[in-house]
Structure formats: C-alpha cells, structure tokens
Structure 1
Amino acid sequence: MKISDWKSKVQALFRPAQPDRAPVSNGPRALSADGERKPVEISIISTGERFVHVPSSSQPGEVSRAAEQMGIEPADSYEQHIAALEREALAKLRLWDGKSVSDIDTSALYDFPNLEDHPAMRLTVPAPVVRKEFLNSSPLNENDIERVTLLAVDKQGHALLKTQLGHQVSDFEQTNHDVMPIAEALERLQQHGASKDLTLVIGETLWRGTMPAELKPAEVGATYRGAILAVEGGKVYQLVSNSTAIAHDAGRMSVPDPLRFVGKEVDISYPCGKVGLLRELDHLALEANSLQKRGAEKTSAALER
C-alpha cells in the first residue's frame, strides 16, 4: 500500500457519515450542537495538501470497527506502516535482475530516497560517477538549477537518471526519474559538468565521453599501442583505435602501479606468456614513428607509379 492510500484510509476514519439530512432546526440545542462540531482545517506542510476535518459524532467503538473492516490495526502507528512499506520496496529492489531499469519501481524512490544507494543499483554504475551529483543552471531559468545523478545501468544499454530541479535560494523541489539510452545519459552528465573525456566501462563496452568502443581481452603474443584510459576493477583499459579497447589484467602488468600511466601512450606486449610488459612512449619516439610511417607511405605510393 502506498503512502497516499494509507493517508486516504486514515482520513476516512475521521470523515463523518452523510445520512439523509433532517429538517434544519433553529432551536438553541441545534445551534449548540453545531457550535461543538466546527470544521477544522488541517495542513500537511511537507506536501502542501490541505483538507477539512469535521469532528465525528461516532459512538464509542465505531472507529475501531471501521478500522478492522478496512484491514487496519488501530494500534499500528503511522511510522510502523511506513516502515512496512519501505521493507516491501526493499524486497522488490533486491529481486531486480539488472536486465532493464524500467523494472525499477521509481515511485518507491520518491518515498524512500535512501533506496537509491542499494547495491542492486549502485553496483551497476561505474566508479567515476557512482552516487555523484552533477549540477548546472537550468536552461529554462537562470535562477533555477538542475542536478543529475546516474542511479543505475541495465544490461540492455539503458540508464536510470535522476534529475532534481530547484531554485538557487531554496531546497530542491521537483524530482524526476527518466529511462534513456546510456549515450544520452552520459551526454546529460557532461552538460551538467562531467568531463568530456569521462571514461566508463559498462558491460562489454568502454565509453569515452559518449563514444563507445568494443572491449576485447588481451591475447598472448600480441602487442598493443595506445593510451591508457582507466584502471578500474582490476583491469587496465587501453584504447587502441576509435572503436576498440583492450582490457588488460592489472595484476599481470610488469609495473606495480599502472594507474600512473593513465592518459599516457604506452606499448603493452605479451611476448613470454600472460605477463604484460608495459613501456611508455615519449613524444619524440611517437613523432619519429609517425614520420617514418608517412615516409613509408610516400615510398609505397612512388613505387606504385
């Protein structure tokens, strides 16, 4: 049962019945009775809702009987009921198999924001952006600000993105949960301050910004040249072309700290088995190699003529 349903039931307990109206009496007794049952306006500050409560003329025991008919234990407190709803939402989230973020009950995230940090969702988000909020001014109003958080990524390449919209001098007031392709979610993160070179490994794909590259394992006997993009989850990710990245085992590198080579051009070779020999390439060597390659291309073209 949702919180709104519970609130409706509680209100129903105190809403007076509407029997056939008796003729209006102007006698002093009637006026006195009316005076004792003046309507009371009740406001819920957190939601902004308002309703009018008219004291009921119910006989003793009627409220308890009504509660039993609606399946509500009179002794149960509001807090106990909310806790039960949270346990129910938590149980559903534990069953999420990661196939589709559309299967996540986002209404529960509105009521219980703490569930956003549940491992079932958090472990699907790459470390560089997990539980990280990116903030930017709203394109619609300079006085409004937006912040976005990547909550989950599924096996089909879609993401669950939370967007909060609020005013610069007040608390955030509006929250939306949107399902979108991962490329669109990464673009939204970048629009709100994430690095344009943000590197994320999601499933079998390495994303650099919003450009995907197929991930392949390193092979014995091969040599790979390219920039180290990230070291994460025991893997060293090296971009060897615009559409291909190699996943090396960090524990089998010839250097103890491959993290210091992130952003640098390196050669990683496997001449003697599964140990990756890593060699950093300096700019002069890269330029010489580039000139040598261009010279070879010119020679080849001349010979073809």
Structure 2
Amino acid sequence: MNTDTLRTDANFAGQIPELYERLLVPMLFAPYATDIAARAAALGPSRVLETAAGTGALTRAMARTLPAHVEIVATDLNQAMLDRAATTPIERAVTWRQANALQLPFDDASFDIVICQFGAMFFPDKPAAFAQARRVLRPGGALLFNVWDRIEDNEFAGTITDALSRLFPADPPLFMKRTPHGYFDRQAISRDLASAGFDATPRFETVTRRSRASSAREVALAYCQGTPLRNEIESRTGASLDEATSVCAEALAARFGTNALDGKIQAHVVAASR
C-alpha cells in the first residue's frame, strides 16, 4: 500500500466524524464496545490507555463498565474525531489527547491495559504500534484489541464493496476490503505481535454479532459517506458521491430489504500479555 493510500484510508475529517458517530457507532461499533469493555474490566486495571479511540464508542463503554477509580486516557490520530467524541456526554472524567499510536507520548510502564477497538487495521506499521503499546504497559499488563474478520463474514460491507465494484469497474473503491477488513489473518497478527516483543502466544476469540439499521439508505450513507470510503468515491469519475450512495442502497435493499435491515458482522478479539 503506498503512502497516499495510507493517508487517504486514515483521513477521518470533514463530515465523516458526524456521520460515523450518528450512524456507524450504533450499527457496528456499540455491540463490540460493550464486549471489549467487559473484557478490560475483568482484568482489574487501574490505568487504561485507549488508542484509535475515534468518536468514543469504546471510551463511553469503558466509562460505564470500569470502576470509578480507574483512570481512562483516550487518544486518536485524528483531532476531528476526538472533537466529536468530546461533544457526547460521558459519565466520568476522561483524558482526551491527540496522539499517534506509533509514537505514544507516555512514559514506559505507565498503563495496565492498552486497548484499541477496530484501529489496528489502520496502523501503517503494525509491529511498531504494538511495540509502543508494549513499551507503555506495566509488567503483567495486557494489550487488548479487536479487528474485523474477512469481508465475506461482514455482510453490509461486502454488499457495498460489490456494488461499488460494478459501478466503477475500471478502478473499484476497495477501502473496506483493503483496510477495515484487511487485517484478519491470525498468523499475520501473531507475527506482528511477536515482532513487537510480545513473547507469549496471543489469545484469539471470534465474536459474531448482528448489525441492524432502519433502512438500506441509512446503511449506504453510513459506509459511503461516514468512512474514508467517501474519499475514494469522490476521487473517481463516472458517478457522484450521492449517486454511488444510491446504487449501494439499491444493492442493500435487493439483498436485505428496504427497511429494518439485519446483517452478520464478525470480528476477532486479540489479547497479548506483557
């Protein structure tokens, strides 16, 4: 993947943060946030660092789940996402900070858990990001993160990618397959963690949930305009962003119906001990 593609895939700006929070969080991220926050609580931490926090879906779940004495520090590379996160009420104090997961601005051995929800796929150098997580973990601490499984096991994303491939056959927008659903191989993840210095064998668990939305249009809008897929669509000729969104809505309606959509989503939860 070239540098321009990496930059575009990680560009959550403009209207994306608002649509992401309003549509994608309840559709995709909230169920997994509840799951991974409960896993974090079971480890009994006193200080937790979240990387790639986005608009705060996991941050809010941890605020609800972790005991009041636990300190939560939430970071993201994109200030626009943190700005949106900070506008949503949260039940306790959280430290929000812009930070690059590849260059964490924290002391060695200063957190009990480093946690990341659906962010590892976006790290341009995954072993370097994992090494930074290991550096800031205390001995006995844990890196806990989740990643989407292959696109074939995530039905809305697969349907939209197929529809866009038909609309732009010469240069299909493959953001969803390339990045969100491009880091699912357990052996590759294990190798990256080992390269980062995690000696113990990581633990994997596959978690399947259902993604629900009120309409096909809502799903198409969420994916096409509330993610960096928008950047790929807008860079192409032959169809506008709104036209591409409508084509995707039609494909979703043909497969799942026009209203009350219900599709499979699947992810891996990974835990690595310091």
- TM-score when normalising by structure 2: 0.24
Higher strand share: 1
- TM-score when normalising by structure 1: 0.22
Higher RCO structure (Cα 8 Å, ≥6 apart): 2
Higher helix share: 2
